[in-house]
Amino acid sequence: MFAFVTSAGTDPEVILVIEARKPLTPGATAPAWHYALARFSDLRLSVRHKDKEIFTAEPIPWDAPEQDPKQRYRTFRDRGITPIEEETPDAKP
């Protein structure tokens, strides 16, 4: 299992699982490599292997009134926090 992260920190954006499986084809004896990718981000994602795009995920807008039920990664907005104005040195209470 591998987690791909951005340079911003350690929060994974994509999870990659690689495994060797027993062959299902009659007569085959060698295990075959299989992979699965899982979205762990609301950003647009794209994964390429040997110059071929093998996974893509469109961005999930956090402020959409309804989320797409087909998305496996969901964002939920609990509440918005209004920014606090910066105090100036001359400000008096």
pLDDT of residue 76: 61
Burial 23-35, CB ≥16 within 10 A → b, else e: eeeeeeeeeeeee
| Other beta carbons within 10 Å of 14 | 19
pLDDT tens-place string over residues 34-86: 999 988 888 888 999 999 999 888 887 777 667 666 666 655 666 677 777 76
pLDDT of residue 11: 84
Return d(Cα 15, Cα 73) in angstroms, integer.
12
Written as one letter, the residue type at 77 is R
Beta bridge partners of 2: 16
Structure tokens at 53: 């795009």
pLDDT of residue 93: 55
Return d(Cα 44, Cα 57) in angstroms, integer.
6
Q: What is the DSSP letter of 82?
A: P
